[in-house]
A and B are shown apart, each in its own frame.
Chain A
Amino acid sequence: MRIDDQEGFVVFDNLFSVTRDLGSDETITMQKPAKTPEQKNAKGVFADRTLLEINESAKTAAGRIVNALLT
């Protein structure tokens, strides 16, 4: 995953958007959501995490999953 803070985009390098009926197949890119001040203060039940934290947590989990399933 790459975050371009200047342009405000997030590129998910390992994910390809497949729309079979349209024949498209390209890396998923989206505009990075910008939180309004109200959203930043809104409290949900889940802990607030950055995209990088979520991404890193998943990479770590993937290693645990593969190690566990292959041993």
Chain B
Amino acid sequence: MLYTSDEREDLANVLAAIDGLAEGMGLELDIDQRQIDAILRGMRHDFPAQGGENNASAFKKAANFLCYFVANKPVLNPFPVAKVGDLVSRIPNHQNAIVGWHIAIDALHNAKIHRQDCEIALENRISLSRHSYVDVIEAVSTATPSSHFHLVSVLLEQMCYRVNPDASYPSVI
């Protein structure tokens, strides 16, 4: 879904997700396509983890995408208060946080992670309470790749383990 071998496939996948969210909300969205191109280029360039893009986990890839997405702000229209409620509508850049978050967790659903001798699929999708969702949207709405990549990666990883406890390493500290 992301980081495929063809950047145009990434583009089609991202646009399909944004289009689906728009249709599901009954909205038409203005998109700055130059920013989507910048996101897809930026998230592959100089990947911010040891071993680069090819060795990066699903969590790190999803996090890098999410940080670039919210920082580049490709969705130009804030969502109307009639769709997202008063609390979220007051969060600047909420529309890119909502879209970017959806794409990241959709990508992580059924992603494979490596554990020593085996691969495990993240069979259960991240889900949140309304309260936590609003907090997460506010938290990621100002994320940047340079400052927040590692924290967003840890957040996504721990949320995945919350719903897929067998995928986690045992707690030792």
Across the interface, do A30 and B11 meet the contact criterion of CB distance under 8 Å? yes
In the complex, chain A residues 7-52 whose Cβ is within 8 Å of any chain B Cβ: 10, 12-19, 25, 28, 30-33, 35, 38-39, 42, 44-49, 51-52
Instruction: Please tell me if the beta carbons of A65 and B6 are within 8 angstroms of each other in the complex.
Output: no
Q: Known contacts A45-B111, A58-B24, A58-B106; is A17 also within 8 Å of B33 by CB?
A: yes
Q: Count A-B pairs with CB separation below 8 Å.
A: 162
Q: Does B20 contact A (CB under 8 A)?
A: yes
Is A15 touching B18 in the complex (CB atoms < 8 A)? yes
Please determine whether A69 and B19 come into contact, CB atoms closer than 8 angstroms. Answer: no
Return B65 CB to nearest CB of chain A, in Å: 10
Q: Say yes or no for B168: interface residue by CB 8 A criterion.
A: no
Q: Secondary structure at chain A's binding surface: helix, strand, loop or mixed?
A: mixed
Q: Assuming A18-B30, A57-B106, is B9 touching A33 (CB within 8 A)?
A: yes
Q: Chain B residues near A69 (CB, 8 Å)?
A: 83-85, 87-88, 130, 133-134
Contacts of A52 in B (CB 8 A): 16
Question: Are A59 and B133 neighbours in the complex by a CB distance under 8 Å?
Answer: no
Q: Which of B16, B25, B102, B121 has the largest number of chain A CB atoms within 10 A?
A: B16
**15 interchain pairs, CB-CB under 8 A:** A10-B15, A14-B19, A14-B22, A15-B31, A16-B29, A17-B32, A30-B8, A38-B5, A44-B5, A46-B61, A55-B23, A62-B21, A65-B84, A65-B98, A66-B24
- Residue positions of A touching B, CB distance < 8 A: 1, 10, 12-19, 25, 28, 30-33, 35, 38-39, 42, 44-49, 51-52, 54-63, 65-66, 68-71
A sample of 20 more A-B contacts (CB under 8 A), given A10-B12, A14-B23, A45-B57, is A1-B16, A12-B15, A14-B22, A14-B29, A30-B12, A33-B8, A45-B61, A51-B12, A51-B16, A52-B16, A54-B20, A55-B17, A58-B24, A60-B24, A61-B102, A65-B133, A66-B24, A69-B88, A69-B133, A69-B134
Q: Chain B residues in contact with chain A, CB under 8 A?
A: 1-6, 8-9, 11-13, 15-25, 27-34, 56-58, 61, 76, 83-85, 87-88, 98, 102, 106-113, 121, 130, 133-134
